[in-house]
Structure 1
Amino acid sequence: MEGEGVFQSIFQAYAEHRKRHRKMNEFEYLDQTPYLHSSDYLKELYRGADTKEKKQKLFDYIERFEVGSREYKGYYSLYQRIGKELGHIEDDKEEYIQIPKSLIAEYARQMMDDEDFVKYNMRGQRK
């Protein structure tokens, strides 16, 4: 009986290992299949994709079926993640404009000189 538990745990470990380290032919299959697999299945493949080639196969597959846009949420998030990882898609980083301190100081001085601005800001203060 004890031996069964050992074998069971060995097989479970092997199954987990196979899941994590998918074979390349599972990814090459994506090139020929005429069927769109679910985004959940593709995410599972992605978790096992340990090379750039495998991730590229997933990226190309999503592009081929044209489901990488926002309207296909599950595919879109995976497409974005892989695209950024492979360098095909740039991060949407906000650009900041640097304004010289002298310009900010001049703007603040002009605002303080503006009577309406001072009256408006004084209304909320307690006396």
Structure 2
Amino acid sequence: MQQLVFIILALFLNHLVNAQQQGVTIEVVINNIENEEGQMVIGLYNSKANWLKKVHKVTFGQIVDGKSTVAFKNVPNGIYAVSVFHDEDNDGELDTFLGIPTEDTGSSNNAPARFGPPKWQDAKFELKGESVKQIIKL
């Protein structure tokens, strides 16, 4: 009987460890895209120090009917923020004029970009065991 209880407990703990290691999904939906030229570039950031400087993960999204949807899978729990831009000319870079973006941008929580880039404090969100969906309007 003790062996059976031990085996069940070991299987349960193994399941918990595997679930924590796999992480969860951050789904990013970008709306209000003006045209279908180029692609969306979506960056996931994992710290205030790296915000808009050093991307943690990046992915690219196709634009269909003014919308793009991507997912970051197997992301561990933590604090994150997302930044997106419409790379209309497909050069992989955010085009600017005098430091101001000429391609549409957005960020998680639809954090405002007033007099400069959006702030980490406004864009961050917590991932804790459940998948998250961020809807960003350009």
TM-score (norm. length: structure 1): 0.29
Which structure has greater strand proportion?
Answer: 2
Which structure has greater helix proportion?
Answer: 1
Q: Which has the higher contact order (CA 8 A, sep 6+)?
A: 2
Larger radius of gyration: 1
